[in-house]
Structure 1
Amino acid sequence: MSRRRKSGISKQDREMMEAGAKMAAGFWARLSWTFRLVLVGVIFALVLIAGAFYLISTQPKTENTPTAVAVQPSPSTSDEEQAGVIGREEITPVPGATDTSLGSGGSATSDWYELHFTSPEYPTNKDHYKGGLDTYLVNLMNKATKTLDVADYDFDLSNVADAMVAAKNRGVVVRMVTDTDTYTNKDASVQAAFKKLLDAKIPIVQDNRGPIMHNKFTVVDKTYVETGSWNYTLYDTYRLNNNMIIIHDPKLAENYTVEFEKMFVKKTFGPNKAKGVPNPVLTIGGVKVQNYFAAEDGVSAHIVDELNKATKSIYFLAFSFTAENIGDAVINKAKAGVTVGGVFETTGSNTQYSEYGKMSALKLPNLQVHTDGNPYVMHHKVFIIDEKTVIFGSFNFSDNADTANDENLLIVEDPNMAKAFKAEYDRVLAVALNPPTKKK
């Protein structure tokens, strides 16, 4: 048995260390000052790189700070995680509060689409949790005869899960893509909804990564597409300001099917997906429609291009608005005399990263921005340009949505659709100007 040393270093070890130190000192003395500086610089750079990789690897999953993507620091949790927390949280009404509509949801229809908005109220009344956007989605799913593809960020609606199971039972091929954070959420309603799908042996693919799979779309029989800002949850349906649209067009459905299969079949997400879809620009019912997906299509550049075309007005509803290129495009148009009005989700709008502070500080009479009045969440992501073009979808106006997440966006040049969205803007603005209670 070897003897235990009294100290951690033996005499022989110390002598070897001293000899090594002398050798190193001699080597250093023989180096020129120029080479010494270069060597120190290389070592310093390696330390910085190692530190950067450590920080990236320990980043939480957030909407504004994606894993391995250099974007602005996040002022809070992810945009959609923020919405989920606020949405499921029970907010105690202020004393004496009476039922207040937070904007009665409207609808608009044409030969090729039906558009719907939520009708949240404060305080929330669960007896009124019926006849919401989920009804339109369930009716659409019930039409499926061949295929039903669902890509949804947040999910807990039991009736939507039931409709998916019913489709599977009548022979429809049903598939789902979701975000890992949602799939592993321990909330009882989330787990119950997923259990119904798993019990029916409906295949579910998760993104398994830091940035989020933030889509919320459904494709039925490769003919119908449902999309918008609305997640398939109870509180997205009855507490949040949201929009959803159902479009009947096989070419548009082809785009969404291709995007779905990039995730479901190829297991690729974010910037790793192959670029493009078959029909990025198409005509539906005589209307020009553009369709882009993140992170592969450079979505924010397409938004900026449309904003730069504005000659009269820009109105927007923004759950998260931190993308400087989009904000600068809006500000430049305001400085050029275009009328600009916007409502920001209150939570996060007071941070240095939000475009709210930059816009409000300009004090331009034709640039009027406000924070919203829904005590829960104002969840829209919408631009209305010259009251004839609408930009909407799952895409928050952030760098992370553009470069890291999975998102979808529609740009529709239709005055009738723009009129419906402008009416929704006016409803949300009215609540912002006269909120039922001060939002924290």
Structure 2
Amino acid sequence: MLLKKILLILLYTMALHSSISIEPYFSKTSGRYYKGGVDNKIINDIKNSSTSIDMAMYYLTNRHITKALISAHYRGIKVRVVTDDKKIKAPRYKELIRANVEVVNDHNPRALMHNKILIIDKHITWIGSGNFTVYAFYRNHDNFLRIDSRDVANYYEEKFTNLFNGITEPIEPYLSKNIEIYFAPDSDIEKRLLARINHAKHSIYFLAYAFTNQKIAKALLDAHHRGVVVKGVFDKAQDRYQKYSRYRWLKSKGLSVVYDQNRFKLHDKVIIIDEKVVVTGSYNFTHKANRTNAENIMVIKSRDIAKSYIDEFKKIYNKEGR
């Protein structure tokens, strides 16, 4: 039973309507042999590509994904990559450049290109909290979404093209019945999160790598005061590093917040509201994420997707917090 729990599994594939499906995945934190992780699914999608691969990725260390990207390039697939200016000299990006893959940086030393986005053949999109690193798949707590939708892929493609070409012009949010997508600093993501938290009626569960935003912390406290169940898990090392982390403030106000005990990172950035709405992406709960960095979040309205995230939250909260 324990082995089953620590294996990364596909928790659910939910067809929100006929033209879109979403699959949530979570890190295999046991990771002893670096096998069986979601990176295998990503590599399969890359290997099965037929026309194009576009990737906006803060950090890349996974050699198998790197190799798959190079192989796709050699097959004639159009492969483009954008990363942060401080990461472009990392070994895996250098490897891509040596293979003549198009790799550019964001040319913005004052901000992070912090997205984690992969778009394949203009219909498969991968997003989430995890960089394409060994630790993201096999050590940290991270989450990933695989979205099969031409509409969603085209929307992310528009933003990717801007990032790749150094265009800073904002794009409007993607709004549909069951999915919303926001980019920072294009949209005021903080405002969107506050609205969601302020309208919560029953429960709010969150997983936070970096959390310094006092407005979001105050909204969680207000929700607690009006009877909403609020529970959260913070990354211990990041909390101790961040001078303005909201962990101790929330704890002092009586909220049920705990440190994770994973000796690696709790790198998730997740909010689950009323067991039916999931917010996830690259966006940490910080002012820099809101105002400066290149970030994205997806808001999904689905009880089945939410259940997958609640199960993951409970696994982390019950293990780390008790």
TM-score by length of 2: 0.92
Which amino acid is the alignment partner of residue 394 of structure 1? S
| Alpha carbons 1:310, 1:385 under 8 Å: kept | yes
Contact 2:276 2:302 (C-alpha < 8 Å) held by counterparts: yes
Matches within 5 A, 1:296-335: 296-335=186-225
Q: Specify the code of the residue in structure 2 equivalent to 1:179.
A: D
- Kindly indicate whether residue 140 of structure 2 is the aligned counterpart of residue 231 of structure 1: no
Structure 2 counterpart of 1:159, one-letter code: H
**Residue in 2 that maps onto 1:399:** 287
Residue 428 of structure 1: how far off its partner (Å): 0.7
Aligned counterpart for 1:220 among listed residues 105, 109, 120: 120
**Structure 2 letter corresponding to 1:357:** R
Paired position in structure 2 for 1:433? 321
1:346 paired with 2:236, answer: yes
1:281 to 175, 184, 188: 175
State the SS of the aligned residue for 2:279: strand
Work out the CA distance in 1 between the residues paired with 2:84 and 2:110.
10
| CA 300–292 in structure 1, closer or farther in 2 if over 3 Å, else same | same
Residue identity opposite 1:153 in structure 2: Y
How big is the shift at 1:173? 0.8
- C-alpha separation between the residues in 1 aligned to 2:195 and 2:317? 26
For structure 1, the residue ranges without an aligned partner over 5 or more in a row are: 1-98, 186-190, 435-440
Report if aligned partners of 1:374, 1:431 keep a CA contact under 8 Å in 2: no
SS in 2 for 1:347: helix
**Which residue of 2 is the match for residue 117 of structure 1?**
26
What are the residue-to-residue correspondences of 1:347-426 with 2, within 5 Å? 347-350=237-240, 352-363=243-254, 367-426=255-314
- 1 CA distance for matches of 2:9 and 2:36? 13
Q: Which residue of 2 aligns with 1:199?
A: 98
- Given residue 77 of structure 2, which amino acid in structure 1 is its aligned partner? V
Correspondences of 1:14-29 after superposition (within 5 Å): none
Cα distance, 1:141 vs structure 2? 1.2
Q: Secondary structure at the match of 2:147?
A: strand
Q: Distance in 1 between matches of 2:9 and 2:201?
A: 27
Alignment map for 1:163-182 (pairs within 5 Å): 163-182=68-87
Q: Deviations over 1:267-291 (max 9, x none)?
A: 14xxxx21224x61024xxxx1000
Q: CA deviation at 1:240?
A: 0.3
Query: In the TM superposition, what is the alpha-carbon distance from 1:224 to its structure 2 partner?
Result: 1.2
CA distance in 2, matches of 1:348, 1:139: 33
Q: Which amino acid aligns with 1:412?
A: I
The one-letter amino acid paired with 1:166 is S
Query: Can you list the C-alpha shifts for 1:9-32, whole angstroms capped at 9, x where unaligned?
Result: xxxxxxxxxxxxxxxxxxxxxxxx
Q: Write the distance in 1 (CA, Å) between the matches of 2:38 and 2:101.
A: 23
- Deviation at residue 102 of structure 1 after TM alignment: 9.2
Q: Retained in 1: the 8 A contact 2:93–2:103? A: no
Of all paired residues, the percent bearing the same amino acid is: 30
Which amino acid counterpart does residue 261 of structure 1 have in structure 2? T
Task: State the distance in 2 between where 1:356 and 1:300 align.
Answer: 18
SS in 1 for 2:239: coil
- 1:292 partner SS: strand
Give the TM-score, by structure 1 length: 0.68
Residue 106 of structure 1: how far off its partner (Å): 3.8
Give 1:344 deviation, angstroms. Answer: 0.5
Structure ID, larger Rg: 1
- Aligned mate of 2:38, from 114, 133, 141: 133
Where is the strand percentage greater, Structure 1 or Structure 2? 2
The structure with the greater share of residues assigned to helix is 1
- Per-residue deviation at 1:236? 1.4
- Which residues of structure 2 form unaligned runs of 5+? 16-20
Give the 5 Å matches for 1:143-182. Answer: 143-182=48-87
Alignment of 1:44-83 (within 5 A): none
Q: Tell me the C-alpha RMSD between the 2 structures.
A: 1.8
* Distance apart, 1:340 and its partner CA: 0.4
Tell me, in whole angstroms, the C-alpha distance in 1 between the residues paired with 2:221 and 2:321. Answer: 22
C-alpha distance in structure 2 between counterparts of 1:183 and 1:100, whole Å: 37
| Contact 1:103/1:431 (<8 A) preserved | no
- Count of residues paired in the alignment: 313
User: CA 1:221 to 1:210, structure 2 compared with 1: closer, same or farther past 3 Å?
Assistant: same
Secondary structure in 1 matching 2:162: helix
User: 1:76-112: CA deviations, max 9, x gaps?
Assistant: xxxxxxxxxxxxxxxxxxxxxxx99995534221231
Does 226-235 or 158-167 show the bigger shift?
A: 158-167
SS at structure 1 position matched to 2:283: coil
User: How far off is 1:395 after superposition?
Assistant: 0.5
Distance 1:212 1:352 in 2: 20
Q: Is the 8 A contact 1:101 1:119 kept in 2?
A: no
Q: Give the letter for the 2:101 counterpart.
A: I
